[in-house]
Amino acid sequence: MNILYSTLVGILTCLFVADGIVRYVAAARFKKAHGCKPERKIPQFERIIGYGLLKTQIRAVKEKRLLEVSKQRFEEYGTTWSVSVMGNVFINTIEPENIKAILATNFKDFGLGKRIESLGDLLGNGIFTSDGAAWEHSRVSTFLFSSRDPGPGADCYS
C-alpha cells in the first residue's frame, strides 16, 4: 500500500512540475513573439498558492473595497503587474497600449481562459464570455450601438 501511495504521489508531483514547465515555456514564447516587457511582480510571501493575496482579496470583497484595493496596487506597482494565486499567474494591466493590443489590434492572440466557464452562467453568451469569432461579433455589435454615428436609418429609433 505504501509503495502504491508513494508512486501515486510521485506521478502527481511529476505531472504538476511538467505542467508548470509547459506553461512557463508557452508564456515565454508568447512574450517573446509579442515583444512584451517583463511585468512587475507584486511581492508575495510565496508565489505558488498565494494564500496571503487570496486572503486580502476575499477580505476586500467582503468589505466592498475590491476596486479601492486594485487602484492602490496600480498606484504602488505601476500600470502592469502580476500575482500568483493557486499556481496560476495573473497579469493585470491598465496600460493603454496593452489594452489596445488585447481588445483591438491583437485580440486574436488573447483568450479568456477559464472566464468562460466561471462567468458563463452569470453573464450568458456575449462580449464578456466569448472568444474568437463570437467575441468579434459581440464587439462589432457593441460598437455599433455605442458609436456617435449610428448610421443610416437609426433615426427611426429616436
pLDDT digits (tens, 9 = 90+) for 103-142: 777 777 776 666 666 666 666 676 667 766 776 676 667 6
The pTM assigned to this predicted structure is 0.62
Burial of 49 by CB count in 10 Å (0-12 exposed, 13-18 middle, 19+ buried)?
middle
Is residue 150's pLDDT more than 60?
A: no
pLDDT (average), residues 40-47: 84
Rounded Cα gap, residues 12 and 68, in angstroms? 39
Least confident of 27-31, 83-87, 127-131: 127-131
